[in-house]
Amino acid sequence: MRYLYLSFLIVILSAFSFTQENEKQTSTLIVNIEGLQNNDGKVRIALNNSEENYSDHGGAYQGGDAQINNQKASYTFTKVPYGFYAVKVFHDENNNDKLDSNFMGIPKEPYGFSNNARGSFGPASWEDARFEIKADSLVISITVQ
């Protein structure tokens, strides 16, 4: 009976420890957006956790809208698991929920990527925009162009 009680206690403590450890493995990510030319519209933000959803134009891991004040914006993601991520943003000046482009596909609204990565003839690559979250909180800044 004593061993049964001890075994039960070990299982309970292990489960408690595992839960606490997993809770520690998430982060708060704050994304600051700079370089905005006006306070019109909003900034659309996409947090991507893989190269696949980074490349897919509709499948971000998490996303949101940031309000603009004094030509700057900020957005906070909470409970983000540790790992590798990339962020894409664009200034949706006319609030139509899409990145407007000209007839050649060149964006007409300001946009940016984490690490201030830039692409040639398209978006920045996952490798250039990728960063690692491995702390309780992380603040990154993106300057749109």
pLDDT along the chain (145 residues), means of 10: 46 47 80 98 98 85 97 98 98 97 95 96 95 97 97
Contact 87, 129 (CB under 8 A): yes
Residue among 99, 97, 92, 88 at smallest CA distance from 48: 88
Provide the residue type at 89 as one letter: V
In this prediction the pTM is 0.83
pLDDT, residue 59, reads 85
Map out the domains of the chain with their CATH numbers.
26-143 (2.60.40.10)
